[in-house]
Structure 1
Amino acid sequence: MAAKTKAQDIIDNNAVAVFSKSYCPYCKSTKSLLSEMGVKPYIIELDQVDDGAAIQDALEEMTNQRSVPNVFIGQKHIGGNSDLQGKKSQLPQLLKAAGAA
């Protein structure tokens, strides 16, 4: 339950939150896109924190998505890298609404 609370806190307290793994090429692509848009997301590398597996389990329970990256903008679940890339044209608007841009 602590992992779910931690995940929810991260989502609630950051305009853009990315649950990532440091070695994941899709995560790198997501972080690059956000960086190109001038956004500094809160990034947690699940493979580098002790409770990473538990957080990943909690995220799956919350979003029905187990894979990373798991992206939230303005406390809304966006999905993974392909979802984010697919919303490229809407991103400036989403980020502005979330207060991230």
Structure 2
Amino acid sequence: MEKVMRLATEKGVVIFTKSSCCLCYAVNVLFQEIGVYPVVHEIDKDPDGKEMEKAITKLGCNAPVPAVFIGGKLVGSTNEVMSLHLSGSLIPLLRPYTRM
């Protein structure tokens, strides 16, 4: 859990992913289209990946990946990110981290 929280707070927008996850890719592309370039940690390529996956689940993420953190706070996985985007709430959360 400590490693996940340390990595999640290093930058404004952090996504924990798996290299073969198409939903992870879609969330990353969405953020880039908004003008946000998140730090991406591929947990399947990390030696502590299994423990990180368990920690993300314990933090309350419905699916272990993608796990999106904005400003060091867990936003959630794909469903939560897309719900925020469709409601118009995602862009205001990301505004401090945009490059546009």
- Provide TM-score, normalisation by structure 2: 0.87
What's the CA shift for 1:65?
3.3
Whole-angstrom CA distance in 1 between matches of 2:76 and 2:51: 19
Gaps of 5+ in 1: none
Relative to structure 1, is the Cα distance of residues 64 and 36 closer, same or farther in structure 2, using a 3 angstrom cutoff?
closer
Structure 2 residue 78 is matched with structure 1 residue 87: no
What's the CA shift for 1:67?
2.6
The aligned amino acid for 2:89 is Q
Relative to structure 1, is the Cα distance of residues 27 and 93 closer, same or farther in structure 2, using a 3 angstrom cutoff?
same
Gaps of 5+ in 2: none
The aligned amino acid for 1:65 is N
Q: Which residue of 2 aligns with 1:65?
A: 62
Match of 1:17 among 11, 14, 17: 14
Whole-angstrom CA distance in 2 between matches of 1:11 and 1:49: 15
Whole-angstrom CA distance in 1 between matches of 2:84 and 2:48: 30
- Provide TM-score, normalisation by structure 1: 0.86
The aligned amino acid for 1:83 is E
Whole-angstrom CA distance in 1 between matches of 2:7 and 2:97: 15
